[in-house]
Structure formats: C-alpha cells, structure tokens
Amino acid sequence: MSQAPAILSNHPKGLVERTDFFRVDATRKLDPIRRTTLGQFLTPPPVARLMASMFKKRREHIKLLDAGAGVGVLTAAFVEEMTRRKNKPASVSVTAFEIDPLLTEYLTETLALCRVECEKAGIKFHAEIVCEDFIESAVNQLNATLFTPTASKFNCTVLNPPYRKINSDSRTRQLLRTVDIETSNLYTAFVALAARLLDSDSELVAITPRSFCNGPYFKPGRRLPR
C-alpha cells in the first residue's frame, strides 16, 4: 500500500473522502483479470453516502456486516453517518469480509480511521476483518446453526456485492444448495446469505442490478428462504 498522506487523518470533508484515497490507490494496483473475476469495482463516495443515509432505524447497539468490503468505503460511510446523527448509537461492531489480501491492507487502515471517528463521537467501536470467501463462511455458519440456532450476529448490512455468473456445477453452487439458495449470480448469493445472517428487525442496503426485480432469470433469488 502507498503511504497515506498525513492530511488523511484530518481531512476537512470527512471519513469517506479519506477512504477514497485508498480506493484510488488500490484500483491502480488491482490485476485486471483478478479484478473481473472478483468483481472488484469499488463504490465512489457519493454513492456510499447515499446508501448510508438509507439506514433509518435508531439502534443502541449496531452489528454491521459488510460482505465483500473492498477498501471499506461502505463501512466508512455508515460510520460517518452514525457519528453525525443527533441520536448516536452506543456501539458499532463491524464484521468485514474481503477475500483479497491486497484490499484488506487498505481495509485495516479504513477501520482504524472509523475507530478514531467513533471514539471522538463517544461511540464504542469494534471491528473484525475476515479474509475468507464470504459464501463458504456464511454457508458454514448457517449449516452449523441449523439445528441449534444461536443469536443472530447482525442487525445491519451494507453491500456492493461482486457481480459474476456462477456455473451450475461449481462448488459455490453446491455450497449454496446446502442452504436452499438456488441462484446463478454471485450478487444474489451475497444478498441472500447476508439476509439470512440478519435478525428479524434488521436493515439491508445493497447495490443490485435492476434485473433482480423482474423477469424469470432471478426468480429463485427473489424468493429468499429464511
């Protein structure tokens, strides 16, 4: 990772702009083939902020899932939004899944900046980076708790999932079938799994193509099993 300029720790425009330095720096370094395979198209600040503003419910304790977190701009926008609210949460706990170690380096820095902002606002902050395949990890978790349900881990999730077809005979597809998810694209798999990891009074904000809403192609994906 390139050295972040000192100004980043105190950028007048806020946390999201500071994180945007990471987005630009990381995008320069991403391998083009890997970028397509992993759907590494990182969200620009205005979109991240719009998404954060869509979380409406005031919660005392927030447990946020960011699956396919990239450099962490969605979490940064979420944290910025919470720290600016009049009625702030008491705590924010983030679990960020990101499979690419190049991006988790930046993500670590983003979460450190989030911690500083939360501390300034009097919000307790906890963060965990999981550098694993989100599909595999979520499926394992759902299967493990099938007969012994434990308390749900998350009450908010923010996603810009990777968009890529999944072959019908692939391991990913087989894993998804073990939790009754039948879908042909990674993005619907991410949304379905994230929804399953939420408790009943939760909020999910995701970037998805419009094709999710109509037509037969994503019909199984729209019927999310609980």
Ligand X SMILES: C[S@@+](CC[C@H](N)C(=O)[O-])C[C@H]1O[C@@H](n2cnc3c(N)ncnc32)[C@H](O)[C@@H]1O
Looking at 5-13, 96-104, 110-118, 197-205, which segment touches ligand X (CB under 6 A)? 96-104
CB of 104 to ligand X, least distance (A): 9
CB of 161 to ligand X, least distance (A): 6
Does the footprint of ligand X cover residue 38 (CB under 6 A)?
A: yes
Q: In the set 15, 16, 20, 42, which binds ligand X (CB under 6 A)?
A: 42
Toward ligand X, which CB reaches closer, 67 or 123? 67
- Give all strands of the β-sheet with 154-159 in edge-to-edge order: 124-130, 91-97, 61-67, 154-159, 198-206
For 59, the 3-state DSSP assignment is coil
What is the dihedral angle through the alpha carbons of 10, 53, 208, 135, rounded to the nearest 10 degrees? 70
CB of 133 to ligand X, least distance (A): 4
Residues 6+ apart with CB under 8 A from 78: 51, 52, 55, 64, 66, 156, 158
The token duo for 66 is 């960011």
Looking at 8-16, 77-85, 116-124, 129-137, which segment touches ligand X (CB under 6 A)? 129-137
Residue of minimal Cβ distance to ligand X: 68
Toward ligand X, which CB reaches closer, 148 or 176? 176
CB of 147 to ligand X, least distance (A): 26
- Phi and psi torsions of 77, nearest 5°: -65, -40
User: Cα 205 from chain centroid?
Assistant: 9
Q: In the set 15, 62, 73, 191, which binds ligand X (CB under 6 A)?
A: 73
